[in-house]
A and B are shown apart, each in its own frame.
Chain A
Amino acid sequence: MKRIARSTLQTAVNLVFFAVLGTAVLASTYFMTHDAIVKSEEGEKLKLINQIVPTALFDNDIIRDTLTIPASELLGTEGNTVAYRARLKGEPSAVVLESIAPDGYSGKIWLILAVRANGELAGVRVVNHRETPGLGDYIELPKSPWIKGFDGKSREEYKDADWKVKKDGGKFDYMAGATITPRAVVKAVNKTLIYFEQNRVKLFAVNEPKKEETK
């Protein structure tokens, strides 16, 4: 009996030893790589943001000028998302919003949009999607310039009825054989612009509320 207890204890000590050793190795690697990871993640984000917000449009530290946005039906989000604010000489110039089109052909389509302070779209990109490769994936920029069709569009120029693909009587192109995908994206972009209209002041607010009617 005593021998069994002893060998059990030994085994346990052995396992604990390896667990502690493993944790130590992991912790030190984490601390060694942490800065580089944060840097590359921020670099990647900035690259994406730069694609849709021209560098000439901001001089602030856009990665850190953020606002947490609670889940919103208009944005299609179910949790908090982060908005990045672009400012030029302190004046708001654009905001980067995340949005989800819930009704793609194979589920959700994740979008990132930049809206200028005047309500015009600076750019839209698809961040993630599961649309059929070779068919619905022309919403991705590397595959096709389709997504650039949103650049410069606004709800001032296009009314609600125009925010549809041409097949449905709207103003947006689509490719034959894959209408569900662009339909979902166009709808989500329009809804994001509505969200922007409703929350414009809040979106650009600095720590102390500041007036910014730039009409």
Chain B
Amino acid sequence: MNLKEITHNGVWKQNPGIVQLLGMCPLLAVSSTVVNGVSLGLATAVVMALSGACIAPIRSYVPNEIRIPVFILIIAVLVTVVQYLMNAYMYGLFVVLGIFIPLIVTNCIVLARVEAFASKNSALPSALDGFAMGLGLTAVLGVLGAMRELVGKGTLFSGIDLALGDAAKDLVLHVIPNYKGFLIAILPPGAFIGLGLIIAGKNWLNLRAEQKRKSTAPATPLTSPEAVQG
């Protein structure tokens, strides 16, 4: 597998959020705004890249029987390191994401990629695979966050000052002024509905791409319209 293919796989074809449907817990819980979703997505991407990079080189030294505990141990260490760093240098965001940072450990997508990819490949592709998968998750969290925030609160990028400091406060977009809010989008059901729409959208795009490919390919005999109707 070349590097381009790995990236494409992670971000689109095998997207953890909308194709593999792994890592639902943070996806549904923190995607109430763009900033929350993207921040946790990036934290997960960093953890996944690091865990791929750490686990691939040692994969031949870890006996098969204890590979899962060792992998989990390494992932837990990396997550805790990320947590300390966020606590120290991005305190506002740390408070918002709170419990979901340690929960990255239990996000099955991390262990799934380590087990499926890093334990069979060398360090660089493994790191890229983890990062691409993380970016794929980040993209879904970002889109879902934008949808929920826009419908629920009428804003975009609210809370960005937590991530980038007080200077970024002006970046918050009040897309719909004097919006009264639409509560269900912010509450958990909004996340399920939004995710459903995103998955439907991706399937539609896939289907369209397939049809396009078919129509440009040499015509294979199709059933005639009358036959279908009949």
Stretch from B60-68, B139-147, B194-202, B205-213 at the A interface: B60-68
Shortest C-beta distance, B195 to chain A (Å), equals 20
**In the complex, given contacts A26-B80, A33-B85, what are 13 additional A-B residue pairs having Cβ atoms less than 8 angstroms apart?**
A11-B63, A11-B65, A14-B62, A18-B62, A18-B74, A29-B80, A29-B84, A29-B85, A40-B87, A41-B91, A44-B92, A133-B187, A134-B183
Contact B84 A40 (CB under 8 A): no
Collect the chain B residues with CB atoms within 8 Å of residue A44's CB.
91-92, 95
User: Is B57's CB within 8 Å of the partner chain A?
Assistant: no
Closest-CB distance, B191 to chain A (whole angstroms): 14
CB-contacts of B157-181 with A (<8 A): 181
**A9 → B minimal CB distance (Å):** 11
**B binding-site residues for A, Cβ under 8 Å:** 61-63, 65-66, 69-70, 73-74, 76-77, 80-81, 84-85, 87-89, 91-92, 95, 181, 183, 186-187
Point out the residue from B69, B81, B87, B181 that lies within 8 Å of A15, measured CB to CB: B69
Residues from chain B with a CB closer than 8 A to the CB of A18 are 62, 70, 73-74
Confirm or deny: A205 has a beta carbon within 8 angstroms of a beta carbon on chain B: no
A44–B187 Cα distance when bound, in Å, is 27
Question: Cβ of B73: which chain A residues have Cβ within 8 Å of it?
Answer: 18-19, 22
Q: Mark A40-67, 1 if CB is under 8 A from B, else 0.
A: 1101100000000000000000000000
- Cβ-defined partner of B87 (8 Å) among A25, A37, A43, A132: A37
* Residue A10, interface by CB 8 Å: yes
The answer to whether B74 touches A134, judged by C-beta atoms less than 8 angstroms apart, is no
Flag if B65 contacts A22 (CB, 8 Å).
no
Minimum distance in angstroms from B52 CB to a CB of chain A? 16
Q: Would you call A15 and B66 a contact (CB within 8 A)? A: yes
Report how far A40 CA is from B92 CA in the complex, Å: 9
Select from chain A the residue with minimum beta-carbon distance to B180.
A134
